[in-house]
Amino acid sequence: MRIIRVLVIAAVLGMVGALTSAAATLSAADAKNHIGEQATVCGQVASERTATGSRGEPTFINLDAAYPNQIFTILIWGENRQNVGPLPSDGERVCASGKIQEYRGVPEIVVRSKAQLSR
């Protein structure tokens, strides 16, 4: 009896975990309501720019609205570009997974590896 009870509890916890993961996929517009959370944010690439003259050579990929009206940014530092691989193209749908943080009022996820991006 005890083994069955443990198995049932484990199954319920597994289902709750699966539901929580599914709920953590957000639109670019909704990301602002989830600062500090681990999530996956999806949207359409509206603009992409690498600031080659800036320290760390950051690449900014803005989803659903282009700079300066961006609503969500995927940030890739120059030192991580090789780990990330090919960048998505303008108009392509992409998802970034990680901790949502805020920079100057705009939510962002810092992507350091290929595993954090999906198309």
pLDDT (tens digit per residue) in 6-36: 344 544 444 444 444 444 899 999 999 999 9
Top-tier CATH class for 26-118: mainly beta
H helix count then E strand count, the chain? 2, 8
Distance of alpha carbon 69 from alpha carbon 62, whole angstroms: 9
Residue ranges per domain, the chain?
26-118
pLDDT (tens digit per residue) in 63-91: 999 999 999 999 999 999 999 999 999 99
Q: What is the pTM of this model?
A: 0.81
